Amino acid sequence: MAVVDDDPAVHEATRFALHDYTLDARRLVILSAHSAQEGRTLLRAHPETALVLLDVVMETDDAGLEVADFVRKELGNDIIRIILRTGQPGQAPERRVVIDHDINDYKSKTELTADKLFTTMTAALRSYEQLRRLQETRRALEEVNACLEERVLERTAALVKANERLEAQRADLRRANRLKNEILGTIAHDLKNPLGIILGRTEMMQELLATSPPPVESLRTQIEHVRGSARHLTTMVDTLLADAMNDALDITVRREPLDYAALVCDVVASNRLLAERKEQRITVKGPPAIAVNGDQDRLREAIDNLVSNAIKYGPVGSTIEVALSQEDGAIVCRVRDEGPGLSPEDERRVFARFQRLSAKPTAGETSTGLGLSIVKRIAELHGGHVSAESLGPGRGSIFSLHLLATNDTNGR
């Protein structure tokens, strides 16, 4: 409790009247201020004060009212009980003061006998205690509400992430379904001709078996045709499924130092047998060693697709040139063939999935339409790119794989 009054006798009388005052087994501590300025300083230093007995007329006629406004507005203390105690009631009309200055009680000094003071004090302190408990309850509820809001935000964020994951899974399922349809369509298209050959040959064998005696050599010839078509089908299915799975799954790359020139030479060597069957010649030009940082298996797959494509579409007896060079911070592997070249439409869609180009393999080889799209994906994962250039109708094409010469790209 605080007593703010410029009359020392009031302080002494208040202390005497309340010297043995207790409420709920707690004793009363009385603080004193002898002016409005001291009162402001005291109340600022003791925000836990429950009650103030406040004189109105001190340094000025309304000094006490200014202290009341200071407590309510500047300190923002709504629960401290303010009881005006004045010896000049006419100076501060009771109704106006109580309403305008948020005063809790108004007493003249003459009416505040010891018993009246006890009653007024007890009522004010109990009111303060109730307000304090309400304030603590409100703060606790605010803390609980803030905690609940935080949990709601966390749950909302978790739901958003879960929805994002579900949407990603739905997108993957839609992509897988599209890929399935594309694969089925490609399989149906590519297998139709070999199956037709097998069916026709078996019908011919049925007719040959009906003759007497059966022509053994003719039957052997038909059996070889059936066997060749079956091998062709097996190779086609294996290639198609392997390429489709490579394209369907996320291709990952790992970074490690490797000799790119040696890798290219190794790929060319492994393809020479295929080229020799078509009487083709493969040449390799470039530095004896080029260091890069990349995935050896994936780069091998990309170069192998480019070289095997050149063999597939190159005419019998043609030459395939594989050249390595370093240009403007990039390492370029160019594969040049002497095939039919690319039409303008081919150049626009050559690296898309399941694209059939206008050119046809020159020895009946099959194509799934996935190889060049895989080359493009591998190049991008290494921070590079792939390009295609037609040299004109019947003059061949150049496919170029560009990789960064430095290792500052981030593979997945």
Structural domains of the chain ordered from first start: 2-112 (3.40.50.2300), 172-247 (1.10.287.130), 253-404 (3.30.565.10)
Percent of the chain with pLDDT over 90: 41
Average pLDDT value for residue range 40-50: 94
pLDDT > 70: percent of the chain: 84
Give the pLDDT band (50/70/90) at residue 157.
very high
The pLDDT score that the predictor gives to residue 12 is 92
CA gap 125, 407 in Å, rounded: 77
| Nearest alpha-carbon partner for 388 in 380, 396, 378, 398 | 398
Burial, 234: exposed, middle or buried (Cβ in 10 Å; 0-12, 13-18, 19+)?
exposed
Average pLDDT (264-280) is 89
Predicted local confidence at residue 99, as pLDDT:
76
Residue 411 has pLDDT above 50, yes or no: no
Listed range (28-37, 171-180, 368-377, 392-401) with the worst mean pLDDT: 368-377
Which of residues 346 and 319 earns the better pLDDT score?
A: 319
Q: How would you class 375 by CB atoms within 10 Å of its CB: exposed for 0-12, middle for 13-18, buried for 19 or more?
A: buried
The residue type of 40 is R
| pTM value > 0.75 | no
Q: Is the pLDDT of residue 247 over 60?
A: no
CA 10 to CA 339: how far, in whole Å?
116
Q: How large is the angle between the packed helices 216-248 and 114-209, nearest 10 degrees?
A: 170
Question: Which range (41-45, 232-236, 282-286, 308-312) has the least confidence?
Answer: 232-236
Residue 11 amino acid letter: H
pLDDT in tens, 110-120: 788 888 889 99
Mean pLDDT throughout 174-179? 78
Asked if residue 214 has pLDDT above 50, the reply is yes
User: What is the β-pairing status of strands 2-4 and 51-54?
Assistant: parallel
339 pLDDT above the threshold of 70: yes
Q: Is the pLDDT of residue 134 over 60?
A: yes
* Non-local CB neighbours of 123 within 8 Å, separated by 6+ positions: none
- Phi and psi based region of residue 76 (left: phi greater than 0; alpha: psi -120 to 50; beta: remaining): left
Nearby residues of 210 by Cβ (< 8 Å), 6 or more positions away: none
Distance of CA 220 to the CA centre of its chain: 63
Q: Which residue has the higher pLDDT, 11 or 85?
A: 11
Q: Report, in angstroms and rounded to the nearest whole number, the Rg of the chain calculated over CA atoms.
A: 48
The mean pLDDT of 327-336, rounded to a whole number, is 92
- If you average pLDDT over residues 38-48, what whole number do you get? 94
Is 225 a residue whose pLDDT tops 70?
yes
Alpha-helical (H) ranges within 249-343 are 260-277, 296-313
Label the pairing between strands 81-86 and 51-54: parallel
Cα angle 22, 26, 29; round to 5: 80
- Displacement of CA 380 from its chain's centroid (Å): 21
CA distance 111 to 105: 13
Biggest CA–CA distance in the chain, Å, is 148
Cβ neighbours for 365, distance < 8 A, ≥ 6 positions apart: 312
Confidence check: pLDDT of 64 > 60: yes
- Tens of pLDDT, residue by residue over 361-409, are 665 665 555 678 888 888 998 999 999 998 888 889 999 999 987 544 3
- Of the candidates 57, 50, 56, 15, the one whose C-alpha atom is nearest the C-alpha of residue 32 is 15
Q: CA 335, CA 375: separation in Å to the nearest integer? A: 13
CB of 28 closer than 8 Å to CB of 21: yes
Measured between alpha carbons, how far is residue 384 from residues 98, 105, 275 in Å?
82, 84, 28
Tell me the average pLDDT across 289-299.
90
Q: List, for residues 68-80, the tens digit of each pLDDT value.
A: 999 999 999 999 9
Q: Two tokens at 78?
A: 């709504």
The region of weakest confidence among 179-183, 308-312, 388-392 is 179-183
DSSP assignment of 331-381, as one string? EEEEEE--S----HHHHHHTTSTTPPPSS--TTS----S-HHHHHHHHHHH
Per-residue model confidence (pLDDT) at position 406: 58
Q: Which of 228, 288, 238 is nearest to 260 (CA)?
A: 288
Give the pLDDT of residue 123. Answer: 92
Residue 246, pLDDT score: 56
Q: What is the DSSP letter of 292?
A: E
Task: Please say if the pLDDT value at position 95 is more than 90.
Answer: no
Average pLDDT, the chain: 84
